[in-house]
Each structure stands twice: as structure tokens, then as C-alpha cells.
Amino acid sequence: MNHQQPFPQEGPTGRKPVPPEQKGFFQRIIHVWLRFSGPDIRHFRATIEDQERLRRSRLLSALFALIIVTLLLTAPTAFPVPTYWIPLLCLLLLSLVALLLNRRGYVTLSALLYVLAIDATLTILMVTLPTGIRNSNIPDFDLFILPTLIGGVVLPRHFVPMLALLHIGLIIALFALLPHDPLLTQEITINQKGLAYAELSDAFLIQVVGATIAWLSAWSVDLALVRASRAEEVAETRRRFNEQAQSIVEQKHRLDYGISVLKEAQARFANGDFTARVRLQDNELAPLAFSFNLLAERQSRIIQVAQKYTHLEQALQQLFEIQNTLFYGGGLKPLTVTDPLVDHLYRSLQRYDQLRQRITQGGSYLEKAQTELTQQKHLLTQLDALLAQTHTAVHDPHRSHLSSVQLLEQAQEITVQIHKHEQRCQQALKQGEQVLNT
């Protein structure tokens, strides 16, 4: 498992770190020392590998504190023997470099340099002995077990066998190259029959046993890490399984709710409620709800169009009947079924009916005027005949049985009648004109 988030929230054991103000005095000192000698824990992720590196880095921080204690305890011995300052200064300088590497996060390189610092200190201490190797110095070779054990704690386990072989070779080289005290030489010759291996066998045994113990310890730590990793994987798998199960349950609830809403909307739509719509948000059936709403909207529009078409058809049928009635001279009936288009056509029929009525009324006035003109024409014919008789009576009174005065009186009466017919004719024309102009 590889979680990429930084690791400031919880400690390596999974517990939240205690705030500094809630710690004791020694805990605050340890916290300050870890921050001074170790890397920032935010650079380590929550993976098993990074947490193992953080563990080894904190062990190195504790071992750096042990270097300080070692220097304080051994410094008094360097005042009577000035050559002791050389290994002590070497240990201090190499430890400082290792501390800086640990602060930068190079844990393995820092641990190697730490082990090298101890080896160099012991080697310089052996080389600077003024009398060479004595019987009392043989146990000093056993001190090389310290870097082996430390390497088993702060280094990956595959370094442990190499450290043991390195220290065995270093012990052999020092013993072979450094001068021996006469007493040591005499002891090897007499007691060990000239076999120097017997003097170093304890150191070799300690190296082998110590390296084995360190390797087994590192192996057990790696095995515990593998088990922890597997346990973490199992826990993570279980957590994901629980999350998936919870997600499935929630999804089922959402699906049940969406199905019930869709069923209700479908039942309402089937019962004639064409305004029924489905409103679903954050639901797996939201696309289906959108499709249902789109289908319902289109179906509603089709039904509305069909209703409008039926209504229009009824209105047009009624309009057609009214038109036929008007065509055969009937009166204009009221329109009971209304529609914008039919209403517009009905208004045209209304104007047609009004125009027809006006034309009819105007035609009656024209017929009246024609009648008056016909009568006026007849009277004019009579007046013309009377005028001809009057002319004859004036020139030849004996040929006419009526006097000219009587003829003139008759002509005057006809003129009065003609004038009345003319007035009635003009009145009829004027009324017809008014009807047509309205």
C-alpha cells in the first residue's frame, strides 16, 4: 500500500502525537533532540518502508546522543595520554557528518558513516598504542562487535554479514601489522604453540555470534514489518470492503428511491396527468429520469397539438357551416367554438355579412330611386305631351278642346309631382350612399 499523503497527523504506531505543551521535561528534551538530529517527519509517508526508515533514523538520533555520552566519559582519559584525542576527534567529526546526513534524510548512508566512525575510532586507538599490542589489548578486539550490533539495528540486514567479515578482516590486519609486546609473543610461542589464531578466536566467535544475533534481530524486524504490512493490507482491504458494502447499500437505497419516484410519475402520467415529471439529483437513475421527462414533454406536446387540432377541426367545421348559410342567403350565426385562426376567419365572414347587408340596403334604396326615376320619366312624358297641346292651343285655339290655361295648370301639377319624385329619388340615393359609406 502506498499512501501519498504526508505523515504529520499520526505517529509510527498510528497514535496521534502528543502536543509539546502536554509532555514532561524529559519528553520535551527528547522531542527537541529528535528534531535537531533527525529529518522532518513530514517527509515520510505512511507506508511501511518510510516508517521503517523513520524508525532507523530515530535510533540513529539516540545513538548520536550516546556518542556525546561516550566523549564525555572518555575525555578525562585523554588528558594524561594526548594520543587519545586523535580517535576522539575522529569519532566526533565523523559523527557530525553522519548527523547531518541523517537530518537530510539519507538514513542508510548516515548509518554506514556512523559504523565507520566507530571502526575508525577503534582502529586509530589500536594503531596509536605506544607499546604495540599487549596481552591487555587483546580484549579490545572484542569492541569491534559494537559496530556490528549497531549495524544490525540501524542498517538493512544484508549489511550485517558484510560488517562481520569486514571486522574480522580488520582484526586480522591489525593483529598482523601492529607490533607485538614481547610478553604477548612469548605467550603465543609457549602457551599457543606458535598459533596466533587462539588469541583472536574469542573476537572471531564474538563477531560471528554477534552478527548472527544482529541478523536474526533484523530478520525478525523485517518479518514483523512484512506481517504488519500484510495486516495493514488486510485492514485496508477490509476497510475498502466495508466502504464498498456501505456504498452498495447507499446505492441500493438511492435506486429504490429512484424507482419509486419513477413509478409514481409513470402512474400519474398514465392517468392523464401530463404535467408529471421526475426530479432526481445525485442518483444513478438520473439519466433515466431525464429520458422520462423528455419523453413526457414530447408526449405532452403531441397531446396538446392533437387537442388543438381537434379543436381547430371543430371550429373550422362550424365556420364552414356558417359560410354555407351565408352563401345561401341565411343569417350569420354566432361561433361557439373559438380558435385564433377561426376567429380571424369569422371576423372576415362578419365583415362579409355586414357588407352584404349594406349592399342589400343600398340596393333597396337604388330600386326606390329607380322607381322614382321611372315615375318621373312617365310624368316628363305627360308633361311633354301637355306642352305640345299647349303650343297647339296657343297657335290654333280651335283645334284643342282645352284652353291653354287649363293645359298650363295640368303641366304645373305634373311639374310639382316630378319635383316630389326627384326629391324622393335624391333622398333614396343619399340614404344608399350613407349605408354604403358606413
pLDDT in tens, 115-165: 999 999 999 988 888 777 888 888 888 999 999 999 988 998 899 999 999
Q: How confident is the model at residue 19, as a pLDDT?
A: 56
Checking if the pLDDT of 8 tops 60, the result is no
Q: Which of 92-101, 242-251, 274-283 has the lowest mean pLDDT?
A: 274-283
For residue 279, the surrounding DSSP H or E stretch is none
Q: How confident is the model at residue 337 (pLDDT cuts 50, 70, 90)?
A: low
Residue at 403: amino acid letter: S
Q: How confident is the model at residue 97, as a pLDDT?
A: 94
In whole numbers, what is the pLDDT of the chain averaged over residues? 81
Q: What nine digits make up the cell of 159?
A: 549489511
Q: In whole angstroms, give the CA distance from residue 296 to residue 80.
A: 104
> Among the ranges 15-29, 49-63, 368-382, which has the highest mean pLDDT value?
49-63
Write down the domain spans for the chain.
Answer: 6-128, 339-437
Q: How confident is the model at residue 22, as a pLDDT?
A: 57
Checking if the pLDDT of 195 tops 80, the result is no
Q: How confident is the model at residue 99, as a pLDDT?
A: 92
The 8-class DSSP code of residue 272 comes to: T
The whole-model pTM stands at: 0.53
The mean pLDDT of 106-110, rounded to a whole number, is 91
Checking if the pLDDT of 4 tops 60, the result is no
Which residues are CB-contacts of 40 (< 8 A; sequence separation ≥ 6)?
none
Q: How confident is the model at residue 335, as a pLDDT?
A: 67
Q: How confident is the model at residue 283, as a pLDDT?
A: 80
pLDDT in tens, 49-80: 888 888 888 988 889 888 899 889 888 888 88
Checking if the pLDDT of 90 tops 60, the result is yes
For residue 106, the surrounding DSSP H or E stretch is none
Checking if the pLDDT of 219 tops 70, the result is yes
Report CA-CA distances (Å) from 319 to 87, 126, 308, 339, 352.
124, 129, 16, 11, 13
Of 118 and 44, the one with more pLDDT: 118
Strand partners, 45: 6
Q: How confident is the model at residue 311, as a pLDDT?
A: 78
